Amino acid sequence: MARLILGLDSSTQSLSAVVIDLDTRKVICEKSLNFDRALPQYKTQNGVIPNRDPLVKHSPPQMWAEALDLIFAQMKKDGVALGKILAVGGSGQQHGSIYCNERFADALQNLDSNQPLVENLSGVFSRKNSPLWMDSSTAQECAEIRKKLGGVKFTASRTGSDTFERFTGPQIRKFYKTEPVSYANTSNITLVSSFMASLLAGKIAPLDFGDGAGMNLMDIRRKNWNHDALKATAPGLMNKLPPLAAAGQTIGPVSSYFAKKFGLNPEALATVWTGDNPASVIGLGLIKPGQSAISLGTSDTYFGTMEKCQTDENGEGHVFGSPTGDYMTLVCFKNGSLAREKIREIYGVKDWKEFGKLVASKKPGNDGGIMLPWFESEIVPRVIKPGIHRFDLDEKNAAANCRAIFEAQMMSMRLHSQWMQVSPEKIFATGGASNDLALLQVMANVMNCRVLRIEVSKSAALGAALIAAHGWLTAAGEEPKWKKLVAGFSQPIPKSEIRPDRQAVKIYDKLLEKYAECECDALEKIAD
Ligand code: XUL
């Protein structure tokens, strides 16, 4: 009998599913459901509820639950062999949090398959909407927690990161300060990953060390809740948080809700979910320390595996637990694909092929033209006031502006990842924009490194499936090896290697200095 494993990824804009066959080592089903299009009743834009305050980014948690019903219904309709699934795992956009009252645990235990999930969850939320990773409205709370923990360096060395606006601790503190009664009525705070896993398991699911590290609440080395951080955040917090566990650890059989309603194997094991970035580490096969990847998605991220926990003293980057038991480093840029899309829209570029052609039509270095594309507030460098800044760049020149945004994104990545002190031999590129060769050439030249394209559009969902497979094999008494487990699933596309061009590398080495000055100028202007 085929050994099938399901991996889900609940991201900002969509819910994706990947089913893998462990024996043939093939992905046998890939699905995606876009929240704006499939669930228009929630009125989200790119998965987010429009808000007058540009710093506030929230989503309705009911939408994520309803998407789970929908994607299972679609898989059933398409004849996916749900009855043969042995384990279900998943990943979620990181940092986003869901607040439930004391009815949550009961509701999970008694999910009625004659009612949709959303009906089953009616009355369990103690906070209407969930703050997301894109939210940057907690600068004040970040400062308060950081101060109590002894400054940037100490906060980072204890929790893996300095306090960040999108991290769950500062978000919880803001909720406690602004809605103390609702905070008091909250019995459970889950992240997107542990919320979705709880629905599947029919009980409150643990939070893994990857997503747990995105809260400014977990001791990054001991991998337990840090009491000083909890105290600095909000009173009584310990009792509201789920336990911590390794990603992929089995929770128990899936809730009978999914078996009865969609024909999911009732013995399939629900496993602990992780964040989308830690899952991508596995989906891309980055199991050896020193391997790095750039993901060009809603957020652009640069991440890699690391053996020893080494945190960023300057506080720009993060250390999370990796599903392999090692650590991972990550730098996250908010103005990723949505910013590229904005430029495409502004210049009326009809599609990404055309965009790539325009990028390739200009010389490396763009004749010194630089753009800081902060359409939204930015995480790295910290920018609270959005705005586009151009330096020696003609606003009317479409090609120059298309090239400028990607060069800026890559130069920012290079500049702000220096703390990782890794010089990767090669970088794996993934995410939507990684199909564009012109963009990848810019990546190779700016990073001065070989770039390989990986043939997985859904690296997080694939990683989630592999992590669940690891958990299932372990529960079956085997001792699975990561190297063997990921082999065959995430191969670089043959002949996809892009080598840096020596001349262009020299140009960017020089231009990086100008880029750094432009960033300082713009940040000073914003601060005035
Ligand atoms: C990582 C981060 C984003 C989200 C995107 O720290 O905030 O990459 O995980 O879903």
pTM: 0.95
Q: Which residues contact 517 (CB under 8 A, 6 or more apart)?
A: none
Please, what is the Cα angle at 145 between 332 and 57, to 5 degrees?
45
Atom of ligand 1 at shortest range from CA of 301: 8
First to last CA, the chain: 66
Atom of ligand 1 at shortest range from CA of 134: 7
Give pLDDT, residue 108: 98
Q: What is the C-alpha to C-alpha distance for residues 218 and 248, in angstroms, rounded to an integer? A: 19
Q: Mean pLDDT across the stretch 250-260? A: 98
Among protein residues, the one whose CA lies closest to atom 5 of ligand 1: 93
Per-residue pLDDT of 15-56, as tens digits, reads 999 999 999 999 999 999 999 999 999 999 999 999 999 999
pLDDT band at 419, cuts 50/70/90?
Answer: confident
Other Cβ atoms within 10 Å of 492 Cβ, number: 17
pLDDT band at 361, cuts 50/70/90?
Answer: very high
Amino acid (1-letter code) at residue 37: R
Q: What is the mean pLDDT of the chain?
A: 95
Q: Give yes or no for a contact between 399 and 430, defined as CB atoms under 8 angstroms apart.
A: no
H or E element that contains 21: strand 14-21
Ligand 1 site-directed mutation target among 277, 298, 458, 459, most atoms within 8 Å of CB? 277
Ligand 1 site-directed mutation target among 94, 163, 318, 334, most atoms within 8 Å of CB? 94
Per-residue pLDDT of 80-138, as tens digits, reads 999 999 999 999 999 999 999 999 999 999 999 999 999 999 999 999 999 999 999 99
Q: What is the C-alpha to C-alpha distance for residues 319 and 156, in angstroms, rounded to an integer? A: 9
* Structural domains of the chain, ranges and CATH numbers in brackets: 4-279 (3.30.420.40), 285-455+498-528 (3.30.420.40)
Per-residue pLDDT of 326-344, as tens digits, reads 999 999 999 999 999 999 9
Q: Ligand 1 centroid to 178 CA: how many Å?
A: 25
Q: Give yes or no for a contact between 199 and 113, defined as CB atoms under 8 angstroms apart.
A: no
pLDDT band at 174, cuts 50/70/90?
Answer: very high
Q: Give yes or no for a contact between 72 and 111, defined as CB atoms under 8 angstroms apart.
A: no
Backbone torsions φ then ψ of 225, nearest 5 degrees: -65, 135
Q: What is the C-alpha to C-alpha distance for residues 63 and 50, in angstroms, rounded to an integer? A: 15
Give pLDDT, residue 515: 98
The full length of the chain comes to 528
Q: Give yes or no for a contact between 461 and 489, defined as CB atoms under 8 angstroms apart.
A: no
Among protein residues, the one whose CA lies closest to atom 2 of ligand 1: 94
Task: Decide whether any atom of ligand 1 lies within 6 Å of the 57 Cβ.
Answer: no
> How many Å separate Cα 439 from the centre of its chain?
21
pLDDT band at 423, cuts 50/70/90?
Answer: confident
Longest dimension (CA), the chain: 66
Q: What is the C-alpha to C-alpha distance for residues 381 and 379, in angstroms, rounded to an integer? A: 6
Task: Decide whether any atom of ligand 1 lies within 6 Å of the 275 Cβ.
Answer: yes
Q: Mean pLDDT across the stretch 466-493? A: 93
Q: What is the C-alpha to C-alpha distance for residues 131 and 388, in angstroms, rounded to an integer? A: 25
Backbone torsions φ then ψ of 197, nearest 5 degrees: -65, -35
> Of 156, 303, 167, which is closest to residue 220 (Cα–Cα)?
156
**Three-state SS for 437?**
helix
